[in-house]
Amino acid sequence: MNRVIFLSLLLAVSGFAASPISKEPAPEILGICLGMSKQDAHARLNKIGSLEKEERKRQEVWVVTDQRVSHLIVGFDGNLRVRYVTAIARPGSPRIPYGEVGNLKAAQQKSNQGNYKFTWEVGARRGQPAYLIVARGRDPQYLDSYSVKKLDQEEHD
């Protein structure tokens, strides 16, 4: 019974993306979390899709069965832990608003010639490294892709 409660809480906390009223965007996409081992990431990815290709041994492209996301691109660091994950929106599907990723008022926003970019930088805390989230698209309301990336100490300073 305790396991059911724990799993229910875990699912509630780690949904597709952060709630628009959440202070910060989540450091994960579709259950692929920053810092997750390659083995654990593969266990999750095999449940939601299939490997399309592996590039340079540290980057993989997965086709996923999610209604709104067609592909996940997952990069691993030298310790084979998730360093970044990028979601590609599925064409012709229900669209993902930028505000579903994080609070737009907290994002750095840029637009240039019909390209829109929303960026959130989240500092390290409670064992979670600093990370960056970037949502991009050609529509002012809906994204084409978004990425969650662990910030290396050098990148953060």
Q: How many domains, in total, are found in the chain?
A: 1
pLDDT at 18: 41
What b-and-e string marks burial along 78-100, b requiring 16 or more CB atoms within 10 Å of the CB? eeebbbbbbbbbbeeeebbebbb
Q: To which residue do tokens 């910030």 refer?
A: 151
**Residue 60 is part of which domain span?**
2-156
pLDDT of residue 153: 55
- pLDDT, mean of residues 42-67: 94
Q: pLDDT band for position 111 (50/70/90)?
A: very high
pLDDT value at 97 more than 60 = yes
* The predicted structure's pLDDT at residue 23: 62
pTM of whole model > 0.85?
no
Helix, coil or strand: residue 36: coil
The predicted-structure confidence for 65-96, as pLDDT tens digits, reads as follows: 999 999 999 999 999 999 999 999 999 999 99
Give pLDDT tens digits for 24-38.
Answer: 889 999 999 999 999
Round to whole Å and give the CA distance between 67 and 59.
Answer: 23
Residue 110 confidence (pLDDT) above 60: yes
Closest to 130 measured CA to CA, from 120, 138, 145, 139: 120
Band of residue 126 on the pLDDT scale cut at 50, 70, 90: confident
Question: What SS3 state is found at 119?
Answer: strand
- In whole numbers, what is the pLDDT of the chain averaged over residues? 85
pLDDT interval class at 4 (50, 70, 90): very low
Residue 56: predicted pLDDT = 78
Q: Over range 139-144, report the average pLDDT.
A: 96
Q: What span, in angstroms and rounded, lies between the C-alpha atoms of 52 and 64? A: 10
Q: Quick one: pLDDT at residue 129?
A: 85
CB atoms within 10 A of CB 16: 17
